[in-house]
Chain A
Amino acid sequence: MKRNIACLAAAAAILLPTLSTLSGCGSYHADIVLKVYNWAEYIDEGGEDSYEWDIILEDGGTPTEADAPSMIERFEEWYPTEHDGQTVRVEYSTFGTNEDMYNEIVLGNEYDLLCPSDYMIMKLAAEGRLEPYDEDFFDTENEKNYYVNNVSPYIYGIFEDGTVNVPDPDAPDKTEPHRWSEYAAGYMWGTTGFVYNPEYVDADELEELGWSAFTSEKYTNKITAKDNVRDTYFAALGLTYQDELLSHSPDEEGYNETLTGIFNRTEEEYSDPVRSTLLAMKKNIYGFETDTGKADMISGKIYLNYAWSGDAVYSLNEGEGDEKTPENQRIYLNYSVPKAGSNLWFDGWVMTKGIEERGKKEAAQAFVNFMSKPENAVRNSYYIGYTSAIAGEEMLDYVGYLYELEDEEEMTDENYYDLSWFFGTEAGVYADEEQRTCRQLFAQYPPLDVIHRCVVMDYFDADTSERINELWSQVKAESLDAWAIIVIVVTVVAIVLFLVFVKFGNKIDFFRRKPKKGYHEVGKE
């Protein structure tokens, strides 16, 4: 036995170093290894499709990979220049859903910097899994604090206003309210609404219908919902309580707060009607989707797609095609946000608990600041297609580059689209009516009245989450009448019994084939 163990040990001794060199493959030594966990395709990854690449193309050059490095590589190059030559290496991984990310964290995977969505930030904070940013990080005097100096005052305001109860590190039973901004720095944001095909959907009619487009017979089998509980529950809330939502005037005091209250209804008395709404929606819609809606929209298969504004911009762009696309293959889609109110969502950078002890807090904050440099925010925004939380002059120029009218005669007051609310200073672009009311510009930077009716959906606490998920699973599940279940169960049981009979039948004397008269079974004398 001893020898066996020695054998194994020898084998292990040979194997282990090989394994460790394998895993260390491609990495180089750095003073700090920063583990960043972000959404898939949610950062400028360089190469084709990147801003730099396309700029070189536009100028008539031929770009190479070296001309357009990824944002990660740029950060790794930039960091030592600001921190006395200290080097950093980013271990970058991606996730597909907030829940996947959360499970990874709970299982004990040590990431330093995460980029979850609004509700997940609150959930992580409420569970005491996040580390607050340093006070210095918010010092506007320091011009190297790119985040706080460039973030849109509107986004920053949301982060300042929102609170979440965080457990006290010294007394875990006690919680006290903290501002979101202490824990999170905004990255991308947007609204949810409908991408629609104006050939089949009348804009005024859609505005009239609002959330009830989901159950409207006009769009039976031509509209999609999202295949995740939060987004579709939100839509169903909007549909169920649409009359109540519309009864509030945007001019009244605390309009946004009232809407926030309604869109955060999860108590049973409110969620039961929502269940019926969801079932009615399920009967009417084309399907639940997470990714296929964009393609189905562009191909004209469906007329309405409930979408995040970032995806909406993608659909609108893809539908238009590029200059090589023949006119008859282009499809012009629009985006609209229900009048009764909709969802405002954002993704932000948060640091995990214990990052200070791991000695990476500075690097993590530097990463956030680096991504918040307006020129870098433009690059990311260009690559991803979502709207950055960062304002700044470069961002405004970029918006102008994308949407501004070229003809100076058209730069009239009528065509002026005010963006001051987002940029904080007097800002705006001259854009055509479509851009201002239903196309990319509108989707990326909605006008103030739309913003006014968009609300953040809180995270569900453990009990609520269980209840709402159960509700969702029941909506998604097949529903059969009792008699149908009985019939099917009886049939299945019959088949099972038949199989058992086939299997064991010949072991029971009663069922055994008896020999004919005058014959006898061989071997049974």
Chain B
Amino acid sequence: MTKLRFSRKTLGIPYAVFLLFFVIAPMFVILFYAFTDRNNHITFMNFVRFFSDPTKLSTIVYSIVIALITTVVCLVIAFPVAYILARSKMKKKFVILMLFVTPMWINFVLRVNAIRELFNWMGLLGETNYFNTVFGMVYDFLPFMILPLYTTIMKIDNSLYEASADLGANGFTTFTRVTLPLSMPGIMSGVTMVFLPAMTNYVVSDMLGNSMVTIIGKFIYEYFGTDWHMGSMVALVLLIVVFLSTWLSGGFKSEDTVRGANL
């Protein structure tokens, strides 16, 4: 009997099957539903209905704005934290990093509920729905921003800083010419990991915004209760937005992955 040997090709089969069934095929299903009506006839009505309805466009614009604000706030908070943690000589900096990441280990619904109670106690619940939503999302997604930033900034070679100082650059120039360009892959992966979920995580907007804030994820959920075709169309539009933003943030470029931060 010949020895049982697995070539690279054979080992790849399970993954290919997985991708085929759980990624490629569902996309075709979405595509099919988006362009058919309930009698399974091909139609562009869903498309027309989506883009001719100002409330739908408003919702998608709102989702993008909420996601953008969330991302920017996350970035503004996470960058200094990641920089300080990565560059300082603190002995216990790992502990601090862990403290930032620990909430990720606690059940998501529990965390959102806790914030809800907190807002309730502060009297904000039901008063500042949009602020609450953004706050909840920032709180939830912050670790996803800190981690890639931390790893990229940590990998920046210290000799670059020495060279920069040798050449007479001040702190600001060093930041704009060394730190920022070299942490770009981290920023991009952080942005992708915050921006996209922030457009769809309707649990946060429902719980903290009393279901008064509608983001695109909620839309998809509601349509899938009754009208799969329109729901698929919304999902498709979201998919296009996702593709666009991933492409723009360089998610498809392979050389970025060398830095090990692009997830």
Q: Report A's interface with B, CB cutoff 8 A.
A: 3-4, 7-8, 97, 99-100, 103, 221, 224, 227, 282, 286-289, 292, 299, 301, 462, 465-466, 469-470, 472-474, 476-480, 482, 485, 488-489, 492, 495-496, 499-500, 503
Asked if B223 is an interface residue, CB under 8 A from chain A, the answer is: yes
- The answer to whether B214 and A289 have CB atoms under 8 Å apart is no
Which residues of B lie under 8 Å from residue A495 when comparing CB positions?
68
Q: Give the chain A neighbours of B206 by CB distance below 8 A.
A: 227
Chain B residues near A492 (CB-CB < 8 A):
61, 64, 68
Beyond the given pairs A470-B49, A503-B250, 7 more chain A to chain B contacts, judged by CB atoms under 8 angstroms and listed by A's residue number, are: A99-B225, A221-B127, A288-B212, A289-B211, A473-B55, A492-B68, A500-B248
**Minimum CB distance partner of A289 in chain B:** B211
Given A8-B13, A286-B126 in contact, is the A301-B55 Cβ separation under 8 Å? no
Q: Is the CB of B53 within 8 A of A462?
A: no
CB distance from B72 to the nearest CB of A (A): 11
Instruction: Tell me whether B54 is interfacial, beta carbon within 8 Å.
Output: yes
Query: What's the Cα separation between A128 and B227 when bound, in Å?
Result: 20
Give bound CA distance, A282 to B120, whole Å: 20
Interfacial chain A residues near B219, Cβ < 8 Å: 473, 477
Whether A469 contacts B226 in the complex (CB less than 8 A), given A287-B212, A479-B55, comes out as yes
- Could you say which residues of chain B place their CB within 8 Å of the CB of A3? 2
Cβ of B58 and Cβ of A503 under 8 Å apart? Answer: no
Residues of A within 8 A of B54 (CB): 479-480, 482, 485
Chain B's nearest CB lies how many Å from the CB of A303?
12
- The 7 A-B residue pairs with the shortest CB-CB distance in the complex, in nearest-first order: A287-B210, A288-B211, A99-B225, A477-B55, A480-B58, A478-B62, A477-B59
Query: Which of B61, B244, B250 neighbours the largest number of chain A CB atoms within 10 Å of its CB?
Result: B61
Quick check: is B125 within 8 A (CB to CB) of the other chain? yes
A selection of 30 A-B contacts at a CB cut-off of 8 Å is A8-B13, A103-B224, A221-B126, A227-B211, A287-B126, A287-B129, A287-B209, A287-B211, A287-B212, A288-B210, A289-B210, A465-B226, A473-B55, A473-B222, A474-B53, A474-B55, A476-B211, A477-B56, A477-B59, A478-B61, A479-B54, A480-B62, A485-B58, A488-B61, A492-B61, A492-B64, A492-B68, A496-B244, A499-B248, A500-B248
Q: Of B210, B214, B224, which contacts A478 at CB under 8 A?
A: B214
Q: B57 an interface residue at 8 Å Cβ cutoff? A: yes
Smallest Cβ-Cβ distance to A290: which chain B residue: B211
Shortest C-beta distance, B192 to chain A (Å), equals 12
Are the CB atoms of A282 and B212 closer together than 8 Å? yes
Neighbour of B227 across the interface among A4, A221, A286, A466, CB < 8 A: A466
- Alpha-carbon separation in the docked complex, A469 to B228 (Å): 12
* A272 CB, nearest partner CB in chain B, Å: 15
* Main SS at interface, chain A: helix
A485 lies within 8 A of B212 (CB): no
Assembled-state Cα–Cα distance A16/B136 (Å):
44
Q: In the complex, what distance in Å separates the CA atom of A469 from the CA atom of B212? A: 17
Instruction: Bin chain B's interface residue count.
Output: 35 or more
B10 touches A7 (CB 8 A): yes
Q: Are B120 and A299 in contact (CB under 8 A)?
A: yes
Minimum CB–CB distance for B91 against chain A, Å = 38
Q: Residue on B with the closest CB to A6?
A: B4
A227, A286, A469, A478: most-surrounded residue (chain B CB, <10 A): A478
Q: B57 contacts A485, CB within 8 Å? A: yes
Q: Mark B200-233, 1 if CB is under 8 A from A, else 0.
A: 0000001101111110001100111111000000
Kindly state whether residue B38 has any CB partner on chain A within 8 Å: yes
Q: Could you say which of B13, B55, B65 contacts A488, with CB atoms under 8 Å apart?
A: B65
In the complex, the chain B residue whose C-beta lies closest to that of A8 is B13
Contact call A97/B250, Cβ cutoff below 8 A: no
Alpha-carbon distance between A438 and B152 when the two chains are bound, in angstroms: 64
Contact between A478 and B59 (Cβ–Cβ < 8 Å)?
yes
Chain A residues, Cβ within 8 Å of B68: 492, 495
Q: Which residue of B lies closest to A496 (CB)?
A: B248
Contact of A99 among B49, B120, B226 (CB under 8 A): B226
Least CB distance from A489 to B in Å reads 7
Is there contact, CB below 8 Å, between A97 and B225? yes
Given contacts A301-B120, A485-B58, A488-B61, are A477 and B214 in contact (CB under 8 A)? yes
* Inter-chain contacts of A474 with B (CB < 8 A): 53, 55
Which residue, B10, B226, B227, has most C-beta atoms of chain A within 10 A? B226
CB-CB contacts below 8 Å: B6-40 with A: 6, 10, 13, 38
Nearest-neighbour CB distance to chain B for A479, whole angstroms, equals: 5
Q: Is the CB–CB distance between A485 and B226 below 8 Å? A: no
Q: Which residue of A lies closest to B4 (CB)?
A: A7
Assembled-state Cα–Cα distance A288/B214 (Å):
11
